[in-house]
Structure 1
Amino acid sequence: MSGTIQITEAALASLIGLTAHEIPGVVGMAPANLKEGISRVLGRANASDGVVIGKDSGKFTADLYIVVAYGVSIPRVAENIVERVNHVVKAQAGIELAAARVHAVGVQRA
């Protein structure tokens, strides 16, 4: 049997968002844009919140907007996210990201 498998940007964003939530020091994801912020205010949060998928030279990129716990090393949390996201996306979706960028947009007591 032959065919193709297509992984949508929405599915990829959900996979990345769920992966980021597993990293110690991540309190949550922040709205990446106004539309997402309005959806969250209206109570429609998704696993993909805080993740923006783009393309660079034909490969996917991911920008993650996170809120970290007060007292953690933000660079270490960001490195852990990038490493884990790259691994999970490759292992579970068969995709190599051109870039995974972490934007720490807030700090909160856990």
Structure 2
Amino acid sequence: MSGSIQITEAALASLIGLTAHEIPGVVGMAPANLKEGLSRVLGRANVSDGVVIGKDGGKFTADLYIVAAYGVNIPRVAENITERVQHIVKTQAGIDLAALRVHAVGVQRV
């Protein structure tokens, strides 16, 4: 029996968003299309809204827009997100991301 499995961009975005939420120091995701300020932080129900999936040479790329907890080491949180997301996407979806960029767009007290 042969066939192929297709992972949609929406499914990939959800997987990435849920994984990012598991990282200590991440308060939530922020919509990538906000022009002025941070008007809302998205909870788990809307995690994929903070993830933008693209393509580079046929491989997926991802941009994550996160809100970090006040007082955390933001570069360390971004590094933890990058490592965890790359691992989860590889093991659960079989995808190697061409690029993963974490954008800390806000800081919020928890």
Same fold (TM over 0.5): yes
Q: Is the 8 A contact 2:29 2:47 kept in 1?
A: no
Q: Percent identity?
A: 88
> How many residues are treated as equivalent by the alignment?
102
Stretches of structure 1 lacking an aligned partner (at least 5 in a row): 35-39
SS of the equivalent of 1:46 reads helix
Q: What is the RMSD computed on CA atoms of the aligned residues?
A: 1.5
The amino acid of 2:101's aligned partner reads R
Equivalent residue, structure 1, for 2:96: 96
Q: Tell me the alpha carbon deviations over residues 53-73 of structure 1, each in whole angstroms, 9 at most, x when there is no partner.
A: 001111100000000000000
How far, CA to CA, are the matches of 1:22 and 1:59 in structure 2?
A: 25
Q: What is the correspondence of 1:18-97 to structure 2 with a 5 Å cutoff?
A: 18-33=18-33, 45-97=45-97
Distance, in Å, in 1 between the alignment partners of 2:12 and 2:23 is: 17
1:4-44 Cα offsets, whole Å, 9 max, x none, are: 1000000000000000000000000001115xxxxx7xxxx
The unaligned stretches of length 5 or more in structure 2 are 35-39
Which residue number corresponds to residue 6 of structure 1?
Answer: 6
TM-score with structure 1 length normalisation?
A: 0.88
Q: Which amino acid aligns with 1:53?
A: I
Regions of 4+ moved over 6 Å: none
Q: Supply the distance in 2 between the matched residues of 1:49 and 1:100 (Cα, whole angstroms).
A: 16
Q: CA deviation at 1:75?
A: 0.2
